[in-house]
Amino acid sequence: MCEIYGFSGKQKKELNSDLRGFYSHACDHPNGWGLALLDHSVPEITREVCRADRSKLLSKRLSLPVRAKTALAHIRLATIGSEDDDNCHPFSAVDHSGRSWALIHNGTIFESDKLNKYVFRQKGETDSERILLYIVDQINEAAARLEKELSAEQRFSVLDRIVGNSSPKNKLNLLIFDGELLYAHTNFKDSLYERKDDDGVTISTRPLTDTGWRPIPFTTLIAYREGERIFTGVDHHHEYIFDPSSYKPLYLAYSGL
């Protein structure tokens, strides 16, 4: 699949050490990498179809301090979608209020008719991009019903519902940033960890150091603001169990067979 990384803190932190450790896993995830620095209204996103630990662009970027209050990183093992810049994470979109969203995903969507229409709107081919487009549409619809921009608590409620409804039969390890909140979710055991310290919270598919890591809450959406967890959703209990046979229909559909 893929690996995902996120950081949320009150102050900017130099992330080079964590990022070097994270991107060193690219031998198992060679089909692209991405980095989003999210401290401004317009995300600074770099994506490349290249194995991260062989990327001259990434090596140059990490030779200088990478400082951020909020950041996302991704390394891709392609399952659905070709090796193309448009299929590399993070994905970004802007809702009707002007709020910028960014998303990274480790997993696969096997069943979700609600995402099908986004095949014709997305730039790339991945189910991950379709998830973000669906989320932003749901945020826009909720805001239209209320006739005002959603509060942080209201946005969390929308995402909590979406994640709960989308998790059955799908692997949904997600990190999402909406300009204020960093959302995290996993429904695949032992595949997303957090490390909390004075600088904030770091989240990673695999622990990046020897100590201080613990699994994030399972089958439950959580959200952080400036490194502090402020919302915890409802436990939907929809654990994803790996089944190799479930990928065959996706591969056949993608190949046109």
pLDDT tens digits for 217-256? 999 999 999 999 999 999 999 999 987 666 545 543 443 4
Distance CA 76, CA 73 (A): 10
Residue 218: both structure tokens together: 């399972």
| Close Cβ partners of 229 (under 8 Å, ≥ 6 residues apart) | 201, 222, 223
**Burial per residue of 1-40, b for 16 or more beta-carbon CB atoms within 10 angstroms, e otherwise:** bbbbbbbbbeebbebeebbbebbebbeebbbbbbbbbbee
Overall number of domains in the chain: 1
At 248 the pLDDT is 46
Q: Which residues contact residue 15 at a Cβ distance below 8 angstroms, ignoring those fewer than 6 apart? A: 7, 66, 67, 68, 71
pLDDT tens-digit series, residues 64-113: 999 999 999 999 987 665 677 789 999 999 999 999 999 999 998 987 88
What is the pLDDT, as a whole number, of residue 242? Answer: 81
Of 116-125, 134-143, 149-158, give the lowest mean pLDDT range. Answer: 116-125
- Output 242 or 31, whichever has higher pLDDT: 31
Nearest to 103 by CA among 31, 38, 19, 190: 38
Q: Decide if 78 contacts 62 (C-beta within 8 A).
A: no
What is the pLDDT averaged over residues 8-27? 97
pLDDT at residue number 253: 46
CA distance 150 to 157: 10
Domain of 44? 2-255
**What whole-number percentage of the chain has pLDDT above 90?**
85
DSSP for 33-74 reads: EEEEE-SSSS-EEEEESS-GGG-HHHHHHHTS--EEEEEEEE
CATH number of the structural domain spanning residue 41 = 3.60.20.10
Whole-number pLDDT of residue 111: 78
pLDDT reported for residue 251: 43
184 touches 216 (CB < 8 A): yes
The pLDDT tens digits for 166-209 are: 999 999 999 999 999 999 999 999 999 999 999 999 999 999 99
Per-residue pLDDT at 252 = 39
Average pLDDT over residues 211-219: 97
Model confidence at 55: pLDDT above 70:
yes
Task: For residue 207, give the 3-state DSSP assignment.
Answer: coil
pLDDT over threshold 80, residue 257:
no
Q: What is the mean pLDDT of the chain?
A: 92
